[in-house]
Amino acid sequence: MLLADAILAVLTLGECHGSGLAAEIGARTGGAVNAGQVAKTLNRLAADGLVEALPRDPQGRIGYRLTPSGREAAASWCAESVVDVGRLRLLASLPGADRDTSLAAQRRAFDALLDELPPPVPLAEPPRRGRPQRPK
């Protein structure tokens, strides 16, 4: 998963500043996210027209929100298949490969991964300080 994709996905929840995005992505993925890398990625996403910067808040933080193009890119990423097609092609190309067996094994592994995931995390009400806020 690319950080840019994660930022776009989290911004579908609403406006947020960089350190709030880092915290939200970390909480949702279970990994640490570097706020400096989030800031660099936000600058690139803004230059690409996928997010727009908002005026600084009273604490001096710059918030961001999706542009229409950013919302479209986020929706496209969220709808993508997470199957490793390259791996499946390689497995299917091996002598004696059984495509159905390979697909069934991939499906079982994916289902097991999904079973281990925590339930979806709803946006807290009221929004936690620094985390995404629902669009008005």
- Select from 67, 79, 56 the least CA-distant residue to 12: 67
Which residues are registered as beta bridge partners of 22?
Answer: none
> Is residue 19 one of the residues assigned to a domain?
yes
In the chain, how many domains are there?
Answer: 1
CA distance 6 to 10: 6
**Domain CATH number, residue 43:** 1.10.10.10
27: its two tokens? 């909480």
Quick one: tokens of 25?
């992505």
User: pTM of the predicted model, to two decimals?
Assistant: 0.68
* Contact between 121 and 26 (Cβ < 8 Å): no
pLDDT in tens, 83-133: 666 667 776 666 777 778 777 887 888 888 888 877 776 654 444 445 565
120 within a domain of the structure (yes/no) = no
Range of the domain at 15: 3-81
Q: pLDDT tens digit string along 45-85?
A: 999 999 999 999 899 999 999 999 999 999 888 777 666 66
